[in-house]
């Protein structure tokens, strides 16, 4: 069951919001000219509500460009003065947070590396306590929904009500076309657990390549996300960080023109009635699935008792391999996704083995 944090709707702190939230700007601020030029181009598109710019850039290894530092805050102040756009940047520690608040920035966000450290999040929460700051929290680098929730809860306990989650994907350990694997199920779980939390998507860090930005952005809207954070640079080819995932303001507009924004509900009564009928069928089938699984597990228990009587191990790799190959082949014939079938039956068989070992441990 989900929990309700004390969170204000985005419209309360961004009254001009009349579409999904779009935050855009360079990955890194590089010069005052680059900052203002990019911001002025973006401000012409009324779909952009917040200008973002990295001032401090936490890099994996030393020697890379780590941002211009505090001077960038002055450039963001100038952007706000000249364009009227709210401005924001990433903060990675208490000092960054204090400086950003003192500079009057409108939005602060905590990056994936920082979210992974409860100590860092608590330090930031202590600084913003008692303020009306807008704080966005990116998911941690690994798909740990409890860690993501914990960061949001720490800030909420510090009195921060203007909270937004940012889904930016997770570290990939295998081959993937994405820079950071989307793992959409983690976002879905966060939304289930924190149903009143606005969540936006960061397609730039998921994609890692500008060619994939539309695909990821559309998926985010298909899943009902509340907005996007897309990196935009006046000339991405010479960007000092993450050049491949940034787009020009003009190319950003082309992406936005193609996107279809889905609605959470519909006023079409025929649609609602038909949807309810289909959902009822799903509910019935899910009940039948669980009844079948319950019968399967009872047979697994019987097998466990039989193995115990005959002093046979619970886990038999040859049987596991045979079962997995058979189920995957059957699933493919039924047009089921191979990975889905593999994960499903791995979970089922692991639980069967668990039950059998418990039976064997009984006196």
Give pLDDT, residue 66.
Answer: 81
Q: Is residue 139 located within the same domain as residue 189? A: yes
Provide the CATH number for the domain around residue 81. Answer: 3.20.20.70
Q: Is residue 245 located within the same domain as residue 283? A: no
Give pLDDT, residue 101.
Answer: 98
3-state secondary structure 183-248: CHHHHHHHHHHCCCCCEEECHHHHHCCHHHHHHHHHHHHHCCCCEEEEEECCCHHHCCCCHHHCEC
| pLDDT (mean) for 137-148 | 96
Give pLDDT, residue 265.
Answer: 81
Q: Is residue 237 located within the same domain as residue 293? A: no
User: At 111, is the pLDDT very low, low, confident or very high (cuts 50, 70, 90)?
Assistant: very high
Percent of the chain with pLDDT over 70: 99
Q: Is residue 306 located within the same domain as residue 251? A: no
Exposure class string for 170-193: b at 16+ Cβ within 10 A, else e = beeeeeeebbbbbbbebbebbbeb
Of the candidates 49, 39, 41, 40, the residue with the CA atom closest to the CA atom of residue 18: 49
Among 49-58, 105-114, 261-270, the range scoring the smallest mean pLDDT is 261-270
| Residue span of the structural domain in which 15 resides | 10-258
- Please calculate the CA angle 288-266-169 and round it to the nearest 5 degrees: 70
Among 178-182, 230-234, 263-267, 345-349, the range scoring the smallest mean pLDDT is 263-267
Task: Output the DSSP codes for 142-189.
Answer: S--HHHHHHHHHHHHHTT--EEEEEE--EE--S--SSSEE--HHHHHH
Q: Crossing angle, helix 184-193 and helix 145-157, to 10 degrees? A: 40
350, pLDDT greater than 60: yes
Select the more confidently predicted residue: 108 or 272.
108
Please tell me the distance from the alpha carbon of residue 275 to that of residue 269, in angstroms, as a whole number: 10
pLDDT tens for residues 286-299? 999 999 999 999 99
Percent of the chain with pLDDT over 90: 88
| pLDDT (mean) for 212-238 | 96
263, pLDDT greater than 80: yes
Final residue of a domain: which of 213, 237, 258?
258
Q: Tell me the HSE value of 89 on the side-chain side, using a 13 A CA sphere.
A: 34
Strand pairing category for 180-181 and 162-167 = unpaired
Residue 264 lies in a domain: no
Give pLDDT, residue 3.
Answer: 75
User: At 174, is the pLDDT very low, low, confident or very high (cuts 50, 70, 90)?
Assistant: confident
Final residue of a domain: which of 226, 258, 290?
258
Q: How many domains does the chain have?
A: 2
Q: Is residue 253 located within the same domain as residue 290? A: no
Q: Is residue 112 located within the same domain as residue 14? A: yes
pLDDT tens for residues 301-323? 999 999 999 999 988 899 999 99
Give pLDDT, residue 262.
Answer: 87
| pLDDT (mean) for 245-252 | 98
Q: What are the tokens at 250? A: 């003009």
- Please calculate the CA angle 226-25-202 and round it to the nearest 5 degrees: 35
Give how far Cα 351 sits from Cα of 295, 346, 356, 363, Å: 14, 9, 9, 21
User: At 222, is the pLDDT very low, low, confident or very high (cuts 50, 70, 90)?
Assistant: very high
2, pLDDT greater than 70: no
| pLDDT (mean) for 197-220 | 97
User: At 122, is the pLDDT very low, low, confident or very high (cuts 50, 70, 90)?
Assistant: very high
Q: Is residue 241 located within the same domain as residue 279? A: no
Give pLDDT, residue 58.
Answer: 73
Give pLDDT, residue 1.
Answer: 56
Among 70-79, 205-214, 310-319, the range scoring the smallest mean pLDDT is 310-319
């Amino acid at each position: 069951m989900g929990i309700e944090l004390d969170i204000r709707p985005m419209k309360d702190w961004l009254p001009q919001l009349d579409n999904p939230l779009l935050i855009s700007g360079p990955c890194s601020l590089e010069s005052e000219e680059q900052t203002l030029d990019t911001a002025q181009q973006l401000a012409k598109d009324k779909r952009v509500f917040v200008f973002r710019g990295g001032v401090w850039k936490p890099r994996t290894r030393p020697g890379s460009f780590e941002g211009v530092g505090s001077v960038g805050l002055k450039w963001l102040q100038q952007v706000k003065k000249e364009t009227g756009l709210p401005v924001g940047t990433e903060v990675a520690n208490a000092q960054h947070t204090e400086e950003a608040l003192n500079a009057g920035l409108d939005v602060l966000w905590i990056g994936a590396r920082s979210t992974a450290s409860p100590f860092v999040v608590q330090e930031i929460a202590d600084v913003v306590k008692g303020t009306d700051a807008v704080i966005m929290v990116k998911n941690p680098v690994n798909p740990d929904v409890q860690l993501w929730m914990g960061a949001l809860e720490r800030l909420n306990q510090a009195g921060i009500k203007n909270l937004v989650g940012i889904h930016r994907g997770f570290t990939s350990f295998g081959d993937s076309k994405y820079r950071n694997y989307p793992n959409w199920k983690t976002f879905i779980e966060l939304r289930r657990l924190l149903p009143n939390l606005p969540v936006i998507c960061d397609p730039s860090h998921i994609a890692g390549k500008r060619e994939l930005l539309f695909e990821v952005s559309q998926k985010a809207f298909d899943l009902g996300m509340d907005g996007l954070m897309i990196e935009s640079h006046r000339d991405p080819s010479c960007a000092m960080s993450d050049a491949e995932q940034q787009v020009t303001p003009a190319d950003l507009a082309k992406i936005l023109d193609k996107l279809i924004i889905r609605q959470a509900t519909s006023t079409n009564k025929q649609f609602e009635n038909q949807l309810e009928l289909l959902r009822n069928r799903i509910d019935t089938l899910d009940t039948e699935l669980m009844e079948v699984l319950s019968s399967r597990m009872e047979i697994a228990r019987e097998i466990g008792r039989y193995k115990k009587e005959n002093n046979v191990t619970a886990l038999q790799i040859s049987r596991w391999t045979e079962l997995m190959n058979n189920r995957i082949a059957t699933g493919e014939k039924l047009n089921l996704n191979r990975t889905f079938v593999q994960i499903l039956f791995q979970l089922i068989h692991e639980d069967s083995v668990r039950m059998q070992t418990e039976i064997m441990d009984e006196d």
